Amino acid sequence: MSGIFQSSIGRKLVMSITGLFLVLFLLFHMSMNLVAAFSGPAYNAVCEFLGTNWYALAATAVLALGFVFHIIYAFILTIRNRKARGNNSYAVTAKPKNVEWASQNMLVLGIIVVVGIGLHLAHFWYKMMFAELAGMENQFGATDGAAWITYWFGQPAVAAVYVVWLVALWFHLTHGFWSAIQTLGWNNNIWIERWECISKIFATVVCAGFIIVVLGFALGIFPMFNSPVCGA
């Protein structure tokens, strides 16, 4: 293991593993949001379950750490890459065919995603988990996630910002997902195209899941049922 993280591939490994971890989180988060589309109380039940118990807190801390590493390494890598490129840039550049736009703009996309996350944390996490931990009080209370969703996404400007954010996330994921696999070395001539395809499908499913919820609430379609589905 000696010095693995000082090597270029080692640094990419950090990006890869933290990235895949965040991808898993997104999948989970998206599934959870879909619950809100059906029923507010059901969603709140999930929120409550994930409230302030220690497992959830520990998971949140790990998640935050993953984010932090992913972001820090993104900057480290970018600085190194800029340096490797040299001081003189090309007068004329052309994007070759088969090169995805996203792949060459991961940092910019990443920054948009991070800004979005900041906004999102302020909108929800600060009002819910943080409020609960800090014992703060606010208009809907820390566990009524459904109310917060309805409140925020009901504002067209907020919903629009969320959609932009999620589109950036889509681009980031289409490249990030297969790139993470490639960095781990799980790739070959046949699987390259497959992973790229899977990557696009996955990004589309995740981002579509998020966007449906945002738009559904913005347009007043969601939640589809106002009482818990199971009648609990």
Partner 1 sequence: MAEKNITVTLRVWRQANAKAKGEFKDYKVTSTTDTSFLETLDILNEDLVSKGEEPITFDHDCREGICGMCSLYINGHPHGPATLATTCQLYMRRFKDGEVITVEPWRSAAFPVIKDLMVDRNAFDKIQQAGGYVSFNCGGAQDANAIPIPKEKADLAMDAATCVGCGACVAACKNGSAMLFVSAKVSQFALLPQGKAEAARRAKAMVAKMDELGFGNCTNTRACEAECPKGISISNIARLNREFLVAKLKD
Interface ranges with partner 1 (CB under 8 A):
1-4, 6-13, 77, 80-81, 83-100, 103-104, 106, 175, 178-179, 182-189, 192
Tell me if residue 35 falls in helix, strand or coil. helix
Nearest residue (CB) to partner 1, 129 versus 173: 173
Tell me if residue 225 falls in helix, strand or coil. strand
Burial 113-131 (b: 16+ CB within 10 A, else e): bbebeeebeebbeebbbeb
Nearest residue (CB) to partner 1, 107 versus 158: 107
Q: What is the closest distance, in whole angstroms, from the C-beta atom of residue 197 to partner 1 in the complex?
A: 14
Q: Cβ contacts of residue 55 below 8 Å, gap of 6+? A: none
Q: What is the closest distance, in whole angstroms, from the C-beta atom of residue 23 to partner 1 in the complex?
A: 15
* Rounded Cα–Cα distance for residues 178 and 186 (Å): 10
Q: What is the closest distance, in whole angstroms, from the C-beta atom of residue 3 to partner 1 in the complex?
A: 8
Q: What is the closest distance, in whole angstroms, from the C-beta atom of residue 207 to partner 1 in the complex?
A: 20
The single-letter DSSP state of residue 122 is: I
Nearest residue (CB) to partner 1, 92 versus 230: 92
Nearest residue (CB) to partner 1, 105 versus 150: 105
Nearest residue (CB) to partner 1, 88 versus 139: 88
Tell me, rounded to whole angstroms, the distance of Cα 101 from its chain centroid. Answer: 19
- Please give the span between the terminal C-alpha atoms of the chain, in angstroms, as a whole number: 52
Q: What is the closest distance, in whole angstroms, from the C-beta atom of residue 71 to partner 1 in the complex?
A: 15
* Rounded Cα–Cα distance for residues 57 and 51 (Å): 8
